[in-house]
A = this chain, B = another copy of it.
Amino acid sequence: MQNEFYDITILGCGPAGLSAAINATIRNKKVLIIGAEICSPPLHKAQKIDNYLGVPGVRGEELLARFMEHALDMGIEIISTKAEAINEAEGVYNILVKEEMVKSKAIIIATGIPYKPTLPREEDMLGRGLGYCATCDGPIYRGKDVLLIAHSSEAESEANYMAEICRKVYYLPLYQETMELDPRIEIINGKPGEIIGSDFVQGLKLKDGSEIRVEGLFVLGGETAPDRLIPGLEISNKHIKVNRQQETNLPGVFAAGDCTGPPYQVAKSVGEGQVAGLNASKYVGRK
């Protein structure tokens, strides 16, 4: 992956992402899929799928395994992580993944059901004491108290870094795994409720009513809203706006599957993935 230049990078390894990938690969495009550990949790949990034509009465997990096998048999490169940030420069997209930069001529977003923020008013408070990258904003909170809400253990290294520069670090994990945390960090067991403070963050109220007063609040490892991931991306009714060619408003950026709107169904996602994969291939061919 390192320093590689891909034709098409696909975000998401569910039905839409995998369908886009096999279609672009057949068109001889160099494809990278950046996906989560479990591709498409809703399909993974489905007891029985009976409406994907030609494959009647199949468990979701089994269908997903068949999809994955189809893609892997074609030699498609899949990495289990997420894109941190995407920026465009001179017609090329730079994708920050695990502190490395991947270059790609086109992007297909196939990230599934729409993004939900972790906290109410999260978007309003962004930059007002709330952040998504402790490593980036850390220096602002030197000598102050901060609370980190963590969706996965990947946030632990960020917490440890904050423990070195902040007065007090609270850590609220939303996952169940062993932790390697600096002993100075105080672990909070509870569910996040709401942000305290109107102009600036003053703390976090938990679901049990207790309050933790801090000046900085971070949500780490959560899903990134697509329009924050790719600045300027047009959203309509919480979904990525696409036309019938699966083109978004940004040149070279396509979207397919649940993230483009209902119905949230396998065949619809596979079909849109195909159209996105073929049209992204055409786009790359024209460049």
Contact check, A54 vs B26: say whether CB atoms are below 8 A apart.
no
User: When chains A and B are docked, how far (Å) is the Cα of A55 from the Cα of B70?
Assistant: 7
Return the chain B residue nearest A269 by Cβ: B271
Let me know if B263 and A53 touch, CB within 8 A. no
User: Is there a chain B Cβ closer than 8 Å to A8's Cβ?
Assistant: no
The answer, among B54, B66, B71, for a CB contact under 8 Å with A66, is B54
Give min CB distance, A68 to chain B, whole Å.
9
A111 in contact (CB, < 8 A): no
Residue A118 lies at the interface, judged by CB distance under 8 Å to chain B = no
Q: Is the CB of B268 within 8 A of A275?
A: yes
Chain A residues 265-281 with CB under 8 Å of chain B are 265, 267-275, 278-279
Interface positions, chain A 1-48, Cβ under 8 Å from B, are 15, 18-19, 22-23, 26
> Can you list, as one digit per residue, whether each of A222-260 has a CB less than 8 Å from chain B (1) or not (0)?
000000000000000000001110000000000000001
- Within 8 Å by CB of A54, from B51, B55, B244, B279, lies B55
Residues of B within 8 A of A269 (CB): 271
- Report copies per complex: 2
Give the distance in Å from the alpha carbon of A22 to the alpha carbon of B54 in the complex.
10
Q: Is the CB of A73 closer than 8 A to any CB of chain B?
A: yes
Q: Is A149's CB within 8 Å of the partner chain B? A: no
**Which B residues lie within 8 Å of A51 (CB)?**
19, 22-23, 26, 274
The smallest C-beta distance from A269 to any residue of chain B, in angstroms, reads: 7
The reply to whether the CB of A201 lies closer than 8 angstroms to some CB of chain B is no
Answer yes or no: A114 CB below 8 A from chain B CBs.
no
Chain B contacts of A273 at CB under 8 A?
53, 267
Contact assessment for A53 and B73 in the assembled complex, using a CB-CB cutoff below 8 Å: no
Instruction: Check B53–A270 contact: CB distance below 8 A.
Output: yes
- A56 contacts the other chain (Cβ, under 8 Å)? yes
**Lowest 6 A-B CB distances belong to which pairs?**
A271-B271, A267-B274, A54-B66, A19-B53, A268-B271, A56-B70
Ordered by A's residue number, 30 sampled pairs between the chains whose C-beta atoms are within 8 Å are A18-B53, A19-B51, A19-B53, A22-B50, A23-B265, A23-B267, A52-B54, A52-B270, A53-B67, A53-B70, A53-B71, A54-B55, A54-B63, A54-B66, A54-B70, A54-B270, A55-B55, A56-B73, A242-B244, A243-B244, A244-B244, A244-B260, A265-B278, A267-B267, A267-B270, A267-B271, A267-B274, A268-B275, A270-B270, A271-B274
